[in-house]
Amino acid sequence: MFESLHDLLVRPLTRADKGLLPEAFYQSLYVSPQETPLSRDLLSLPELARYTERWGERRGDMGSVALLKNRYPMGVAWLRLFPKEAPGYGFVDEHTPELSISVHPEWRDCGIGTKLLEITLEQARGHFPAISLSVTPGNPAQQLYMRLGFTVVRTNINDIIMRRVL
């Protein structure tokens, strides 16, 4: 654990950090405490692999990484645009990137997700009209998203699509 957010450095995510994304994406997949953890094999499914594959090589790829004392990754937030033909789960339109965010389980509920999201929103401002995301019903992160100005666009059986105008 860390003493305070003073030990936290949040910096832009770079192509060199893309190796962090598969594990971060896996950690971002919400499973309620009563459920069995998901198989990591899911990450190879095309509809999930598109969130991390070749990150940093496409227009609109941007994000932030939170590091403990500038060394240990604690969380990652990243944006990616998806085409209409291959949308992400939180797809709104081709001009609105989808947010993925993950905080290592040991460091959740410490303010890291809020800090990552605030910085990523600021980073995206001026580049995009809005950002979107998909959240599983019951995921406590939905409260964070609402607190930071995300509103529900639509509700499906397995997820809630939210958007934040920038």
Residues 164 and 152: their CA atoms lie apart, in Å, by 9
In this structure, is residue 36 part of a structural domain?
A: yes
- Helix/strand/coil (H/E/C) assignment for every residue in 90-143: CCCCCCCCEEEEEECHHHCCCCHHHHHHHHHHHHHECCECEEEEEECCCCCHHH
In this structure, is residue 66 part of a structural domain?
A: yes
In this structure, is residue 153 part of a structural domain?
A: no
Q: Which residue has the tokens 């291959």?
A: 86
pLDDT tens-digit profile of 23-75? 999 999 988 888 898 999 999 999 999 999 999 999 999 999 999 876 788 99
Q: Which residues face 165 on adjacent strands?
A: 130
111 CB burial (10 A radius; 0-12, 13-18, 19+)? middle
- DSSP secondary-structure letter at 87? -
In this structure, is residue 113 part of a structural domain?
A: yes
Q: Print the domain residue range for 74.
A: 5-127
Residues 152 and 146: their CA atoms lie apart, in Å, by 9
pLDDT tens-digit profile of 86-116? 999 999 999 999 999 999 888 888 899 999 9
pLDDT band at residue 7 under the 50/70/90 scheme:
confident
Which CATH number goes with the domain that contains 50? 3.40.630.30
Model confidence pTM above 0.95: no
- In the chain, the number of structural domains is 1
